[in-house]
């Protein structure tokens, strides 16, 4: 048994991306190896992957065992040919080249991600049954101490205005990392509650499941 406190964790938004690079193949392996000519992604850096393999697409991954034209997608397992049939075409990657810390976070909440079910019964049944369908949309909401001069505030505001998809990185006190990818919305109108710190709200509407290292 092990439990931890999040005290001291830092949160950062991606504020720099490299050029989009074509991925010519992704292997059925654990971890999967992708081929991208002269991708220039450094070892242990993070990148966004888009691929017809939906289960690993629109997520942020770490590059490992990098070579000139290949890299391992750390933490993946694509050996199941039923879930990952044949090497997909039309995949792309883009390296994350810069992060900006979102400081003065007062509240960090997640919502969604729950399994949804079809519920029904046959004519002859006297009870209902359930079949799993999809998981509900997931989002992360940050309450941030209001200070428009902070770099994180400005990065969130810009991403919200552009309706950009941005990566979000949470670094826990033990060095482990949580990675998310989603549309940013930002409400720069602060709360005004007597005796309470003024705060603004940022929301990340996730496009894929989180990745953890």
What digits encode the pLDDT tens for the residues 129-169? 999 999 999 999 999 999 999 999 999 999 999 999 999 99
pTM listed for this prediction: 0.92
Contact 128, 55 (CB under 8 A): no
Say what the pLDDT of residue 101 is: 98
Say what the pLDDT of residue 83 is: 93
Residues of the chain with pLDDT under 50: none
Report cis status (omega within 30 of 0) of the bond before 139. Answer: no
Domains and CATH numbers, the chain: 15-98 (2.40.30.180), 101-212 (2.40.30)
Say what the pLDDT of residue 153 is: 97
Strands (E), 20-162: 21-23, 25-26, 33-35, 46-50, 59-64, 70-73, 91-101, 105-111, 115-120, 129-135, 139-145
Say what the pLDDT of residue 1 is: 66
Owner of token pair 């994350």: 96
Say what the pLDDT of residue 103 is: 97
Q: Is 188 exposed, middle or buried (0-12, 13-18, 19+ CB in 10 A)?
A: middle
Contact 111, 70 (CB under 8 A): no
Element (H, E) at 158: helix 151-162
Contact 105, 153 (CB under 8 A): no
Enumerate the β-bridge partners of residue 201.
143, 187
The sign of the dihedral angle between the CA atoms of 47, 50, 54, 59 is: positive
């Amino acid at each position: 048994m092990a439990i931890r406190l999040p005290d001291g964790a830092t949160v950062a938004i991606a504020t720099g991306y490299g050029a989009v690079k074509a991925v010519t193949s992704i292997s059925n392996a654990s971890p999967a190896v992708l081929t991208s000519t002269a991708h220039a992604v450094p070892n242990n850096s993070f990148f966004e992957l888009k691929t017809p393999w939906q289960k690993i697409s629109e997520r942020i991954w770490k590059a490992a065992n990098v070579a000139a034209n290949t890299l391992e997608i750390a933490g993946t397992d694509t050996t199941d040919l039923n879930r990952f049939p044949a090497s997909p075409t039309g995949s792309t990657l883009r390296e994350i080249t810069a992060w900006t810390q979102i400081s003065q976070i007062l509240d960090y909440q997640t919502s969604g991600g729950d399994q949804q079910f079809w519920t029904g019964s046959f004519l002859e049944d006297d009870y209902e049954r359930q079949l799993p369908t999809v998981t509900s949309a997931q989002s992360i909401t940050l309450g941030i101490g209001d200070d428009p001069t902070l770099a994180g505030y400005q990065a969130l505001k810009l991403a919200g205005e552009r309706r950009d998809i941005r990566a979000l990185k949470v670094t826990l006190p033990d060095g482990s990392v949580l990675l998310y990818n989603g549309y940013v919305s930002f409400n720069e109108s602060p709360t005004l509650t007597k005796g309470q710190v003024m705060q603004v709200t940022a929301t990340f509407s996730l496009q894929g499941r989180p990745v953890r290292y």
